[in-house]
Structure 1
Amino acid sequence: MERGLVNWILFLSVFLGLTLFTSCGNRDNSIKMKGSDTEVNLAVNLAEKFAAIDPAFNIAISGGGSGLGITSLLNGQADIANSSRPLSEEEIQQFKNKGIALRTIVFAEDATAFVVHRDLPLEEIDVLTLGKILKGEIRNWSELTTTHLPINIYGRQSSSGTHSFVKKKLNIEFSTAAKEMTGNAQILEGVKADKSGIGYVGAGYVAHEANANQSVKILKIKESETEIARSPTDPESINHRLYFFQRPLYQFVIEKSWHKVKPLVDFERSPQGKQLIEAHGYYIIE
């Protein structure tokens, strides 16, 4: 009887151990990542390569904008928020109010590219003129070029980190006529098909889009009419922080999820991860 009791206790211990292991395994190896459309293609590629190394991990990734990712963290619907902007003061307070601790990771440097149709006779633009276009003061390309066409603006929704970034850099309010697109792909498709279009996308995204260079033109940007125009695809300009529209890319991680997210973060910082980041047109922060 004593032996039977020992066997039962052993069985129960093993059963509970396996149950807890399975439960913890499913929880610890399942990561939800939401947020920036600027980062989504890169995030998917990194996750795919990481999962090939460690197939036990299950990583669900979706875009929707930096604001959506941050809101998902607040609501407990994500472990990681990809963001192309820092947290606002209001968001920082919201996390404090909920008692949610975060870790902030800056894993790459990005540049925002301004694109027009390939047939538009314009190669570069200064910041002041660009601002006038985006807020609707300049409405026809004839004011800047030999082409007489009303300007169509392809932008992002207000939840987008890129929308917020451009708005703050230019110190403007966007024209109410600006089209609000859901992501980089939609903006590119709009400008490809519209000879009067202008839009802004992540430089990493447009560099990774195979047919983009044949369909759209990336404008060089200069801070004033007397400055040298810089391209977001020029590594020297980015490395010396000479391009006006460049910024860090963030990942915000809930502290309680850090133990399961850390292996993915370590992979992003590995030589293979850095190589993937650079292959997507982004720049490494050392």
Structure 2
Amino acid sequence: MKYVFLLCVVCLCACSSNNKAIKVKGSDTEVNLAVDLAENFYKVNDDFSVAISGGGSGLGIASLLNGQVDIANSSRPLNAEEDSLFKTRGIQIKTVIFAEDATAFIVSKRFPLDSIDVPSLRKILTGEYKTWKPITGKSTPVNIYGRQSNSGTHSFVSKKLKIQFSRDAKEMNGNAQIMEAIKMDDSGIGYVGAGYILHGVEDQSVKVLKITEKQGQPAISPMDKKAIQEKRYYFQRPLYQFIPLKSWNKVSAFIDFEKGPKGRKIITDSGYYIIAQ
């Protein structure tokens, strides 16, 4: 249904006036949520059209730099190079933090453990551990399913763990592809947005691992709303929208909708979080 909506919105953009046609591109973590928000925004603002596509945070920011979109959705802040490019090109932007997400690490339903500690996860993702034996006692090879380097989630996990991913890590196109790979691979581990997985976790043959920051500490699930609100989950992060000042008047109605009661309800109902900044 959402993909039908995306196609329809793009068509609507073609015939809408430029000051009512909003183009959004970027984070795959945010794309389903963005579509839900746009669908409901359109119900009360049918003179607008909102075209949404994913492709990763880096692609959204690059599109913003090239003047191709009005909003870049990103699951990470701007890096130093991007910030410099915006300044060099004289593009002033506003930054909106409209939600918070947790990154979930997933394995097959048949995986023998329900949790993993951060030091072990670091050794798995860097390739230091080639098999699961140090963690599960079984000498099955580790298969890592991640994202390309332009993904905000890839960048977030790398920076949070202070690692470079193993060269053997498989680079997937998005959350759905990672989910499908993990369903079929008892030796696989991957990461997706918790908000994404909450849309259909009961229908997926995957297990969401609880995370322990250090051995002996409590294991916390990315689905634990109380822990997220208290900022106790190790892999949680804000979700950004970068907007050039020249587009602000056009998109302000959409941003106001996101921040209003209906938008906030959609955000929380979709498995994301609103945390006071």
- TM-score, normalised to structure 2's length? 0.92
Aligned partner of 1:220 among 210, 214, 217: 210
CA distance in 2, matches of 1:189, 1:271: 34
Query: Which of 253, 263, 283 is equivalent to 2:243?
Result: 253
Structure-1 residue corresponding to 2:145? 154
Distance 1:85 1:225 in 2: 28
**1:45-84 maps to which residues of 2 (within 5 A)?**
45-84=36-75
Give the partner amino acid of 1:243. Y
Residues 210 and 52 of structure 1, relative CA distance in 2, 3 Å threshold: farther
Partner of residue 219, structure 2: 229
For 2:59 and 2:115, locate their aligned partners in 1 and report how far apart those are by CA, in whole Å: 33
Residue 257 of structure 2, aligned match among 262, 267, 286: 267
8 Å Cα contact 1:230-1:237 kept in structure 2:
yes
Question: Structure 1: which 5+ runs fail to align?
Answer: 1-24
Secondary structure at the residue paired with 2:17?
Answer: helix
Once residues 124 and 265 of structure 1 are traced to their aligned partners in structure 2, the CA distance between those partners, rounded to angstroms, is 37
What is the aligned partner in structure 2 of residue 171 from structure 1?
162
Q: Measure, in 2, the Cα distance between the counterparts of 1:210 and 1:109.
A: 19
Deviation at 1:210, TM superposition (A): 4.9
User: Are residues 1:244 and 2:234 paired?
Assistant: yes
Deviates more, 1:224-233 or 1:142-151: 142-151
Aligned length: 262
Contact 2:27-2:55 within 8 A present in 1 as well: yes
CA shift digits 1:50-86 (9 cap, x unpaired): 1111111111111010000000000011100000000
* Structure with larger Rg: 1
One-letter amino acid of the counterpart of residue 97, structure 1: T
Aligned to 2:272: 282
| 1:26 corresponds to | 17
What stretches of structure 2 of length at least 5 have no aligned partner?
Answer: 1-15
User: Distance between the aligned counterparts of 2:44 and 2:170, measured in 1?
Assistant: 41
> After superposition, what is the alpha-carbon deviation per residue over 1:154-173, rounded to whole angstroms, capped at 9, x for unaligned?
00000000000000011110
Distance in 1 between residues matched to 2:53 and 2:202, nearest whole Å: 23
Residue type of the partner of 2:87? K
Superposition deviation, residue 127 in structure 1: 0.5
- Is 1:37 aligned to 2:3, yes or no? no
CA distance in 2, matches of 1:139, 1:210: 28
Q: Does 1:131 pair with 2:117? A: no
TM-score computed with the length of structure 1 as normaliser: 0.89
Whole-angstrom CA distance in 1 between matches of 2:166 and 2:83: 29
Equivalence for 2:132: 141
Displacement of 1:198? 0.3
- Separation in 2, partners of 1:41, 1:148: 37
Hey, what's the Cα distance between the residues in 2 that align with 1:210 and 1:50? Answer: 26
2:37–2:266 contact (8 Å) kept in structure 1: yes
In structure 1, give the amino acid aligned to 2:226. Answer: E
Post-superposition, which runs of at least 4 consecutive aligned residues in structure 1 deviate over 3 A? Answer: none
The aligned residue for residue 196 of structure 2 is: 205
Percent sequence identity over aligned pairs: 59
CA distance in structure 2 between the partners assigned to 1:60 and 1:44 by the alignment: 9
Tell me, yes or no, if the aligned pair for 1:107 and 1:285 is still in contact at 8 Å.
no
Number of the residue aligned with 1:102: 93
Asked if the contact 1:84/1:162 (under 8 Å) is kept, the reply is: yes
